[in-house]
Each structure stands twice: as C-alpha cells, then as structure tokens.
Structure 1
Amino acid sequence: MRKPARSTSKATRRPQTKSADALFDAYPAPVKTKLLALRRLIFETAKATRGVGALEETLKWGQPSYLTPETGSGSTVRIDQVKPAADQVAVYFHCQTNLVETFRELYPELNYSGNRAILLDVAGKLPEAALRHCVGLALTYHLRRKAGVAS
C-alpha cells in the first residue's frame, strides 16, 4: 500500500505539479494518454461548474487527486491505473459518500468497482458526457448536502 504524499502545490487551474508530472510520465504511454484525458476533463468540468472554484491538484495515496479547497464544494476525485490491470484506469470517489451509488442509477452502462470507482478501458472511448456529469456531482457534493439536495 502506498503512503499518502504531501501536497506540493496549490495548483489553481494551472497544469500539473512537478510531482504529478513525474507520476504521469512513469505510466505506460496508453495509460498516460487516458489519464491525461481524464485530468483535462476534470479541470474543464470544474471550470464549467458553478460554485466549484479553483481546483488543487495534489497526490493522495500516490494518485493524482483533485480537491476544491477554495470553496469546499466537493469531494476529492482521484485517477489512477487499476492495479494490476494494465488495460484499465479508474476515477475514484470517496467511498463513504453515495456518489457511486448515484452514478450506478444514472449510468448503468458504466463499469464500477464497489462504491468507490468508475472503471474505464485504456483502449476504449471515454464516455465524456457521463463522466463530466459524475465529476460535476462529485465536485459539488458538499454544496448539495448543505442545500439539503440529495446527490
């Protein structure tokens, strides 16, 4: 099990941190390409989603992680290659939320890992619309809870 890494940056909509750069560079090319596409999707979704504010990119558990420290609007979103499956990546969500349960109801066609992740094939096309919606729900999770709105 990997130890949590300390944040090295307050990355506000800027490209990745040096530690994230090194991590992305260490992945095999197809995995790196898919993870960078997910990263881009997360930042674009945050920018387009009202109330989210600037994202912070950091490493948690050795995985690229995206937080909303400016507004506290959302739950952390992480991305990584699925170990040991070299042909899959995952978008991870906090397992003590009902986010993945909500995603299952909205998008039964997606593949999931328990109550914590959406699984994606490295060679497959990203289901962008569904992922943008799911990421948007995660990045506004606390806003909706404060407003008394279910996921």
Structure 2
Amino acid sequence: MKPFADPNVAAAFDAFAPDTRTGILALRDLIHSTAQGLEPAVRVTEALRWGQPAYLSDKGTTIRLGAHKCACFALFVHCQTRLVSDFTSAFPNVDRIDGNRAILFDKIEQIDPNRHGWLIARALTYHR
C-alpha cells in the first residue's frame, strides 16, 4: 500500500466503517497502479474533495472514493462526463451503477482490475 502523503486523507480513510475502508483502500491501490501503468505514467494527487478521498491528474477528471447510501462503497466520477455511460456501453449489465456518477460495490471481490481499471484510466486521462 502506498503511504499517505496527507494526514487529512489518512484520517478520512480511518473514519470509514471497516468494510467500506477495506474496499476503498483496494480501489485506491487500483488507481495508483493504473496510473503507473499508463504510457506515459500519470502523476496522481491525492486530496480531499467534499470530505472524501479524491484522485486528480493534470489531464484527467476527479475520481472520489467513499461510502454510498445503497452500497458498502463506491467509486465516483464527475457526473457531467461521459465516463459512466462509456463504461456501461463497454461493460453492459455487469456492475451496479448510480446514474452517471458512481460504480457501486458491496464487497471487495466485486472489484475487477481490468474492468474498473479501464474506467480509472479513462478518468485519469479524460482531457488528453
């Protein structure tokens, strides 16, 4: 696991329920590994946005991680992008989706590095 550079982000993770924290830590690892696997690699900044851990890149759109009222945890993207609609077109009827803003998870085993990495890569490079 990559260490936290910002103690406020670490504290935000610590504040989540254990199941949520486990899930979003796995998504955090996937964000960092996906960013490093891009050509060229993308530098990701970790910060808090709306009180949630958020991941930003110079040419991307923000990814946020957190709890969701209808799931244990979720990966959020900016609702005014086409990211979720492109994702559901590429991978129809596979994940639970909240409108055009989030992929919902109930357990860590639902995270698919290929499928969700695809979405993360597009978010990190959205404005290229």
1:15 matches 2:11: no
Is 2:46 the partner of 1:42?
no
Which deviates further from its counterpart, 122-131 or 104-113?
122-131
Q: Distance in 2 between matches of 1:88 and 1:26?
A: 14
Offset at residue 46 of structure 1 (A): 0.6
Equivalent runs, 1:2-151 vs 2, <5 Å: 15-16=3-4, 17-68=6-57, 72-83=58-69, 85=70, 87-108=71-92, 109-122=94-107, 124-143=109-128
Which residue in the other structure is 1:8 paired with?
none
Contact 2:52 2:65 in 1 (8 A): yes
Q: TM-score, normalised by structure 1?
A: 0.77
Mapped contact 1:52–1:74 kept (Cα < 8 A): no
* Structure with higher strand content: 2
One-letter amino acid matched to 1:61: W
Q: Which has the higher contact order (CA 8 A, sep 6+)?
A: 2
Computed over aligned residues only, the root mean square deviation of the Cα atoms, in angstroms, reads: 1.5
Question: The residue matched to 2:79 in structure 1 has which SS?
Answer: coil
Rg: which structure is higher?
A: 1
Q: Name the aligned partner's letter for residue 60 of structure 2.
A: G
| 3-state secondary structure, aligned to 1:41 | helix
Task: Tell me, in whole angstroms, the C-alpha distance in 1 between the residues paired with 2:108 and 2:36.
Answer: 27
Percent identity reads 38
- Alignment gaps of 5+ in structure 2: none
Task: Normalising by structure 2, report the TM-score.
Answer: 0.90
Partner secondary structure for residue 55 of structure 2: strand
Corresponding residue pairs, total: 125
Name the CA distance, whole Å, in 2 between partners of 1:126 and 1:97.
Answer: 22
Q: Does the aligned pair in 2 maintain the 1:52–1:73 contact within 8 Å? A: no
Q: Distance in 2 between matches of 1:52 and 1:78?
A: 20
